[in-house]
Amino acid sequence: MQRLNSVNPETATEPAKELLQTVQQAFGVIPNTARVMANSPAVLESFLAFSTAMGKARIGSKLHNQVKLNTSETNACDYCTSILSAIAPSAGLSADDILAGRTGQSEDHRTNAALKFSEAVLESRGKVTGEQLVDVRNAGFSDGEIVEIVASIVLGCFTNFLNNVANTELDIPRAKPVEVRSTPTCGTGACSVH
């Protein structure tokens, strides 16, 4: 059962009403997660601005979405994993690209390096080693692109955490589970295998 209110666009007050109309115009629908964010117009406005700005990232929409998929799997956010998987084709992701994002493993060397770096950032809470930075740089990523990978993770974490707190009801088909990493991830002191 959903634990935070979803704002009804028809009865919303300003500025939430206008922001939800912006979401409707941009996506053709208003995902339930946006309705939850609309409880705080400042949050929804910030999310829209952050998401729009990341559309201009040098890492590109495809890698940006793969990093967010990887983040969603790591954070066990069914809502985000499902919505990202559903919209991924419009961001240029194939079924193999979606799977790579969700599992954190890609046959493309550059993408694989970015996903491994993403996992390291999540696991270490950003306290990556010098070697991990060298690895991602050796894969061809500039400092600006590394910043964009971290920003993609942060954007993913925001929506993951909010949807996990809210237990946001799915309004899209649930993504099927995949076999993901077989390496332990430790972030809170307790290791678990994802």
DSSP state letter for 12: P
DSSP 38: T
What is the DSSP track for 55-122? TT-TTHHHHHHHHHHHHHHHTT-HHHHHHHHHHGGGGT--HHHHHHHHHT--SSHHHHHHHHHHHHHH
Average pLDDT of span 100-121: 97
**Contact between residue 119 and residue 181 where contact means Cβ atoms under 8 Å apart:** yes
Query: Is the separation of the CB atoms in 185 and 75 below 8 Å?
Result: no
Question: Nearest 5°: CA angle at 179, between 178 and 183?
Answer: 140
- φ and ψ at 193, to 5 degrees? -100, 125
pLDDT at residue 38 tops 70: yes
| Closest CA relative to residue 116, chosen from 91, 153, 84, 86 | 153
- The two tokens of residue 27 are 């996506």
pTM metric for this prediction = 0.89
Residue 194 has pLDDT above 60, yes or no: no
Provide the percentage of residues in the chain whose pLDDT is more than 90.
Answer: 88
pLDDT digits 0-9 by tens, 3-14: 999 999 999 999
pLDDT exceeds cutoff 60 at 16? yes
Q: Is residue 189 part of a domain?
A: no
- My answer on whether 83 and 30 are in the same domain is no
The CATH number of the domain where 168 resides is what? Answer: 1.20.1290.10
The answer to whether residue 7 sits within a structural domain is no
Tell me: do 46 and 107 sit in the same domain: no
Assess whether 81 and 39 both reside in one domain. Answer: no
Within a domain: 83: yes
Summarize pLDDT for 73-89 with one digit per residue, the tens. 999 999 999 999 999 99
| Greater model confidence, 191 or 179 | 179
**Selection from 123, 85, 126 nearest residue 102 by Cα:** 85
Q: Which residue has better confidence, 190 or 47?
A: 47
| Structure confidence by residue, pLDDT tens digits, 149-174 | 999 999 999 999 999 999 999 999 99
Q: Are residues 79 and 132 in the same domain?
A: yes
Which CA distances in Å does 6 have to 13, 76, 102, 173, 188? 13, 21, 27, 18, 30
Tell me the per-residue pLDDT of 54-72, one tens digit each, with 9 for 90 and over. 999 999 999 999 999 999 9
Give the domain range for residue 40: 16-54
Task: Give the whole-angstrom CA distance, residue 185 versus residue 20.
Answer: 37
Chain centroid offset of residue 27 CA? 17
In terms of Cα–Cα distance, which of 178, 182, 191, 168 is closest to 30?
Answer: 168
Q: Do residue 165 and residue 118 come from a single domain? A: yes
